[in-house]
Amino acid sequence: MHGKIALEEHYAFPDTLEDSAVFVPPSHWPELKHRITDIHGDRLKEMDKAGIEMTLLSLNAPAVQAIVDTKRAVDVARRSNDYIAAEIAKNPKRFQGLAALAMQDPDEATREIERAVKQLGFRGALVNGFSQAEDPNTPVYLDDARYDGFWAKLAELDVPFYLHPRNPLPQDARIYDGHPWLMGPTWAFSQETAVHALRLMCSGLFDRHPGLQIVLGHMGENLPFAIWRCDNRNKWLNQPPKYPAKRLLSEYFQDNFYITVSGNFSTPALLCSMQVIGSGRILFSTDWPFEAIDEAAHWFDACPISEADRNRIGRTNSLELFKLQDLLGK
Ligand code: GRE
Ligand code: ZN
């Protein structure tokens, strides 16, 4: 399929580059380093070969979210946004961006998303899970009351928020003790991010801001398969949910979430997701450079769905959600 749009596609700049080194063996680091820092060379060639017309670029992980010095986190977020906005300006019909934000400082993050959207032309934000604010050992999740003003601003700006994974902090990762291979994209990323998304749903955030749209990668971090049980466990007890939110979790999932196929090129997982959230809320993505663009595209272009669904997932859903019509036409 030509004209695809991809939106979990990462870059790194000098301040954050080393964060990605731990995820590959040293033998593969030179190649990953090249792939994640390159914008207009091999990345564009891969896009051309794979039929990807537009890539929304976002900073690598955990990057800004793992900087415990708040002032530095704020500075790195701003400089990375300035850096990638200048690169995007060189080829805006092929590249757009999602802003990095230092959630350690909610007021600053609120100012930065407004600057990023209104002045730099970003199409939304991508944040790598929790932040460490006053205490490096305490994760702060985005349902915390300190983010009320931030979410109100995001709703006002009417741009999507990509909730991207990071690993849990060591003291919260003891279930993986002795099994380091389960950290990262194998399992821990999805577990961490799915619970974070459920926290947002349970908190009542989407009752306050019914228009907010959160994007989850990796085929919804297993939630399409699991959300029914979140609402229906022990149904015979006939007890209303104990959380502050007003509706069923699956209703928020349906109305306030989009999922991407990034790094999860599984046809059964896609078909399940289409039944649960619908093809109108699924978006093509690859997760470059942690996954291969050609693998993502070959799978997606051939997977057994209707051409109407392929066109929605591959292009038109993203075109509408990120308001890209001005650049790409219909
Ligand atoms: C990702 O961005 O999803 C990612 C990483 C590191 C390793 C694997 C991976 O940031 O998928
Ligand atoms: Zn990613």
**CA quadruple 21, 84, 192, 258: dihedral positive or negative?**
negative
Q: Which ligand approaches the C-alpha of residue 192 most closely?
A: 1
Q: Under 8 Å CB-to-CB from 159, ≥6 apart: which residues?
A: 113, 117, 122, 123, 124, 125, 322
Q: Are strands 131-132 and 161-163 parallel, antiparallel or unpaired?
A: unpaired
Say whether pTM exceeds 0.95: yes
Segment 276-288 shows an average pLDDT of 98
Residue 181: per-residue pLDDT: 97
Output 62-65 pairs: Cβ under 8 A, ≥24 positions apart.
62/19, 62/128, 62/129, 62/166, 62/167, 63/12, 63/15, 63/16, 63/19, 63/100, 63/128, 64/16, 64/100, 64/101, 64/102, 64/128, 65/103, 65/127, 65/128, 65/129, 65/130, 65/131, 65/166
At 134 the pLDDT is 80
Domain count within the chain: 1
**Ligand 1 mutation pick, 19, 166, 290, max ligand atoms within 8 A of CB:** 290
The percent of residues above 90 in pLDDT, for the chain, comes to 98
**Is residue 133 pLDDT above 90, yes or no?**
no
Q: What is the mean pLDDT of the chain?
A: 97
| Residue partners of 134: CB distance under 8 A and separation at least 6 | none
Q: Is the CB of 290 under 6 A from ligand 1?
A: yes
Q: Is the CB of 287 under 6 A from ligand 1?
A: yes
- Joined tokens for residue 279: 């093809």
- Residues 141, 159: Cα–Cα separation, whole Å: 20
Residue with the nearest Cα to atom 10 of ligand 1?
Answer: 61
> Tokens at residue 50, please?
């794979």
Residue with tokens 């991010």: 193
pLDDT of residue 193: 98
Question: Which tens digits make up the pLDDT trace of 313-322?
Answer: 999 999 999 9
pLDDT in tens, 214-261: 999 999 999 999 999 999 999 999 999 999 999 999 999 999 999 999
Ligand 2 centroid to 287 CA: how many Å?
5
- What CATH number should be reported for the domain holding residue 171? 3.20.20.140
184 lines ligand 1 (CB under 6 A): yes
How far apart CA 323 and CA 254 sit, in angstroms, is 20
Residues marked active site are found at 287
What atom of ligand 1 comes closest to residue 23's alpha carbon?
A: 7
* Residue 329: predicted pLDDT: 83
| Per-residue model confidence as pLDDT tens digits over 176-206 | 999 999 999 999 999 999 999 999 999 999 9
Average pLDDT value for residue range 109-135? 96
Which of 180, 172, 171 minimizes the C-alpha distance to 22? 180
Tokens of 26: 């040293």
Does ligand 1 have an atom closer than 6 angstroms to the CB of 10? Answer: yes
Q: Please say if the pLDDT value at position 24 is more than 80.
A: yes
- Residues surrounding ion ligand 2 at CB below 5 Å: 8, 287
Picking from 88, 103, 47, the residue whose alpha carbon sits closest to that of residue 284 is 47
Query: What per-residue confidence (pLDDT) applies to 72?
Result: 97
- Which residue range(s) make up the domain with 293? 4-328
